[in-house]
Amino acid sequence: MFDQLFNDTITIVNSDGTKHEGIAAIVQKEKVTILDVSIPISTNGTIERLLPSGQLERLSIIDYHLSTGMGGIPDVYEISIEREGTRRAVTTQDPVNIHVSDSPQARINLNSTDQSRNSIIIEAQEIFARVRDLIKECVQDGDGQDQLLDMVDDMETSHQSGDYKTAYQRFMALAADHLTVLAPILPRLASLL
């Protein structure tokens, strides 16, 4: 009864070159269904079908699975296909994540995870010098500038003595009004914790 529905005749050419000819099938746009579940099928294989025009149609096997029947319905192979010469639309399940960091080794990763490791040694003195430069360039308030510069001196001294965290917290409390100016260097200061 079901045999009458399978009115296409195909040849399956597996990726290892083995051919299975004269297979009854139902060929649809993105799927081929066959009744003979004893035939080995491999992804990356090809299905060939002779069209009424005499042209040989080639379909690439993308995936396949066995659909188990029940009652009077037989088991079938359902084979996902695409026509040779057509491109499959690229689909992504994950969103595109772009992360650019403020560092000499900044990268852009699209749909991937950055597994690289970088070691950058920046001397604490260099960081404190950069903070001082930013304060001198951008903080116009004379008293505020002097207080911030004194706090940078305290941080530098405490970094050498081991009590950096307390000095850092005092500096951050005082620097709150100037965060937009100091934002580029704050991650480096925090890295010294």
Domain at 57, CATH number: 2.40.10.10
Q: Would you say residue 115 lies in a domain?
A: no
> What percentage of the chain exceeds 70 in pLDDT?
81
Total domains in the chain come to 2
Q: Would you say residue 95 lies in a domain?
A: no
Domain region containing 163: 124-190
Number of C-alpha atoms within 13 angstroms, CB side, residue 89?
A: 3
Could you tell me the pLDDT band of residue 102, with boundaries at 50, 70 and 90?
Answer: low
Domain boundary, last residue among 24, 58, 83: 83
Domain boundary, last residue among 83, 111, 132: 83
What does the pLDDT look like over 21-72, one tens digit per residue?
999 999 998 999 999 899 999 988 999 999 999 999 999 999 999 988 887 8
Residues 20 and 71 in one domain: yes
- Predicted pLDDT of residue 177: 72
Whether 113 shows a pLDDT value over 60: the answer reads yes
Whether 99 shows a pLDDT value over 60: the answer reads no
Whether 3 shows a pLDDT value over 90: the answer reads no
